[in-house]
Structure 1
Amino acid sequence: MLNEGTHIDLVTRLRTMSRVLDILVPESTSAALEEADEAALDAVRRRELAEAIMLLEEGVQANPFWLRGYLFLATIYEYTQKAEPAIATLEQGLAMCAGGLRLFSAQRWGETLERINGPVAHGRIRNHLERLRQYERMFRHRLAMLQIRCGNLDEAIEQWSAIEEVHCA
């Protein structure tokens, strides 16, 4: 159970993350995922962390590309002092980003893209790629910070190096 100050901090952080993500990486999710998002945040507000974790886990299982769900889930694990599940969750989210980026950079995708006419389609694809890159940076940053707190400095350096490589590319 979280003390009052930590609980308030967690609720505030999740709400702030939600607003910031809406601005930085807006995404069109299904109504079910939006409901899961709100229900999880409400469960945290009511101190029902097990329910919030269950809702978020169900959401990312239903849609593995619901990247916001991984961030929220890892944050709850962090606040409840469960570093290993938080790290595993961030690594899963990072793997989904990498998979999405690989999919879009595949040879066949490039050929398909050439056949798609229209600036709207190209713009949406570019926006999706940029959204994946932004999430990738967020996952790597959070993972590095968590690794540092756990004393896993080599793993943290690896994440920081990957952030630099992505940034320079």
Structure 2
Amino acid sequence: MNGQRIFPGILLIGFGLYFFLQQSAFTWVKPYLGWPALLLITGLAFLAQGFKSDGNGILSGVVLSGFGLHFYVVDYLGWWAHDTGVFILIIAVGFLVQHQKTGSGLLNGILFLLLAAVTLFYETVKQWLGPIGSVWQFWPLILIAAGGYLLFVQKNGGYSRKKT
């Protein structure tokens, strides 16, 4: 199958099934036909495209399908966290899956995984820090500074290349 046709093909089939089921008499499926289903369908199309081609679309696919899946399971699984950390964790998983296919994104995946752990277990991390926990309130500023450094200070992604 041509890599250019995978994404639109799966997207059209998925949306067609979505709208068919919306119009059908299958009442048992109606509660599952909300906007999270559209995220899930789009994410699966990106994943199929990414795995069948050069890896482009894997991150988008994991993020979209992960967010769609999250909005389904958060109401049904009592142990599932409904926290910002879950979204960061999904992004981390996207980078790690992308790394498996393309070899890039490992550092991003690890950094997002650490950030997800901090946000999901914030109170525990604060207790571990003990007396320096009061400094912990400034961790968002550290994130802003690190992002600003990456955008405006660090050149060439940290690699210095000599021109020959």
Which category describes the TM-score, using the shorter chain as reference length?
A: 0.3 to 0.5
Higher-Rg structure is: 2
The one of the two structures with greater contact order (alpha-carbon pairs below 8 A, sep at least 6) is: 1
| TM-score w.r.t. length of structure 2 | 0.35
| TM-score w.r.t. length of structure 1 | 0.35
1 or 2, which has the higher helix percentage?
A: 1
